[in-house]
Structure 1
Amino acid sequence: MALVFRLETVNFKKIRSIAKVAGTMVTIGGAMVMTLYKGPVVEIFHAHGHHAAQQTSSESADQHWVLGTLMLLGSIVGWSGFFILQSFTLKKYPAELSLTALICISGTVEGSIVTLIMERDFSVWVIGWDSRLLAAVYTVSSENIC
């Protein structure tokens, strides 16, 4: 997408351009392998009812792998479009920290609204000593790194 909008140039005589193209191909190839590979389910966190969860998740994965692949591709296109839009915005509005704060606030508000609409059970907002806490800590730490 960056090539289409002339934000990037590719010169195959330079190692930098070759690395960008190779990195893009490896990333897209890895994402496609992860979505199209139909192997055994890998459990990272073992839950109670292990066998029932594995059977349900494998049946669900068999039914929706095409939809999941399309959603992943849409996510990749949307994410790259966001970066292109951000680069155009930064050319006209050079206050990077203000723009970052605005993006984070609008993402928080949007995510909260979608969650309130989609989730009828308010217990999903409770953070306990499980993967929900890990997800919250990871989100906060990854935002601080950027």
Structure 2
Amino acid sequence: MWSAGCMEQWMPAAAMVATNVVIAIMTALIKQALNQGMNRLVLITFRQMVATVFLGPIAYFKERKMRPKFTAEIFVYTFLSGIIGPVLLQYTLFVGLDYTTATFAATFSNMLPVVTFLISLAFRFETLEVRSMSGSFKISGTLISLGGAMMLTFYKGSALTHTTSSISPASSSGHREAGGEHGTVRWVLGSVSMLANVVGFALWLLLQRKFTRKYPAVYSATAFMSLFSFIQAGALALSIQRTSIAVWALKGTIEIVTVVYCGVVASGMGYLLLTYCVEKRGPVFTAAFSPLSQIFVAGIDLFILHEPLYLGSVLGSVLVILGLYMVLWGKKEEAANAVASAKPVQAEVEQQEKV
């Protein structure tokens, strides 16, 4: 039986693994929905609407006795969390996928741990002792994890399974558009969009860290963020699609399942898990798990979509997991050293108080 302390120690890691499973399934569903022609902003709007309906009652009853006052400062935090997180991050990801390739977009997404680490250092949310073992492990682990993620996308290698897959028309058209001046412009725009996505995600994680400290009611904060992002995405969609009502009609099972799953599981439960992990362990810990989603996507491709498994995927996955545990070990060692160094100071203060 695990002790309460052991459970408390491993819960954030388990929550991040679960979050990445949710992200992998969500990615597969969104890909199918967008391939069927679903509008990006409409998908975001419906997703956040479902999340608001799902989380609102839970937040109201669970935190009605401990919910802090909703001040003007909290309003600003909620507004920024909504527009940066659910709205802009999703939209820039969709644009990046549309203007470049899935491989290129995945490569940019896997830069998140490095970007988050650098931004955290710049804002002094994270400390780094380069000469210490924990600091060396954090740096090396982040780079190794990034290298593994890049291997997953750039190095295919020989096929380890005998399943075959066909190239979709959308993928073929994307490759045709990659040439020429128009293709170059689209590629640059897609690159800028993915860069904005990664930097925005890193900033959003840092924002969530401050937000949860000022407004510790996690369920209510997530529900308010879902409500704000629903209004924001809906306003953008209505302003852009003023003459087209047909885009708001959900067509087929895939679009309905995608909206419900993304709203309830991804935007609802997923954001709760993510916010919980940011509050408990900080943004770098949370971002270090991001490459795992690509491994889970590969699993979905292999066992559900019957895509072939390549040597590069296996080698890249090993590097990602190795780097991930190096980062986690570095953070754990750093936290242990901080606690150990604080004990003599605390003992000295207690001794002085007795005197």
TM normalised by structure 1 equals: 0.69
Q: Which residue of 1 aligns with 2:5?
A: none
Q: Distance in 2 between matches of 1:54 and 1:28?
A: 21
- Deviates most, 17-26 or 129-138: 17-26
Higher Cα Rg, which structure: 2
Name the SS of the counterpart of 2:120 in structure 1. Answer: coil
Q: Which residue of 1 aligns with 2:121?
A: 3
Question: Is 1:139 equivalent to 2:262 in the alignment?
Answer: yes
Looking at secondary structure, tell me which structure has more helix per residue.
2
5 Å-filtered alignment, 1:94-109, equals 94-109=216-231
- Deviates most, 108-117 or 129-138: 129-138
Could you tell me whether the CA contact under 8 Å between 1:2 and 1:8 is conserved in 2?
yes
Could you tell me whether the CA contact under 8 Å between 1:32 and 1:69 is conserved in 2?
no
Question: Is 1:80 equivalent to 2:202 in the alignment?
Answer: yes
Could you tell me whether the CA contact under 8 Å between 1:127 and 1:133 is conserved in 2?
yes
Shift of 1:19: 7.3
Q: Distance in 1 between matches of 2:148 and 2:238?
A: 33
Unaligned runs of 5+ in 1: 34-40, 44-49
Question: Is 1:57 equivalent to 2:174 in the alignment?
Answer: yes
Question: Is 1:13 equivalent to 2:108 in the alignment?
Answer: no
Same amino acid, percent of matched pairs: 22
Alpha-carbon displacement from aligned partner over 1:85-111 (angstroms, at most 9, x marks no partner):
121122222222221111111111111
Match of 2:244 among 101, 111, 121: 121
Counting matched residue pairs gives: 131
Shift of 1:25: 2.5
Q: Distance in 2 between matches of 1:8 and 1:32?
A: 29
Q: Which amino acid aligns with 2:211?
A: T
Q: What root-mean-square deviation, in Å, do the aligned CA atoms of Structure 1 and Structure 2 show?
A: 3.3
Q: Distance in 2 between matches of 1:66 and 1:59?
A: 16
Q: Distance in 2 between matches of 1:56 and 1:22?
A: 34
Name the SS of the counterpart of 1:2 in structure 2. Answer: helix
Alpha-carbon displacement from aligned partner over 1:113-133 (angstroms, at most 9, x marks no partner):
111111231111111215423
Question: Is 1:89 equivalent to 2:211 in the alignment?
Answer: yes
Q: Distance in 1 between matches of 2:256 and 2:176?
A: 28
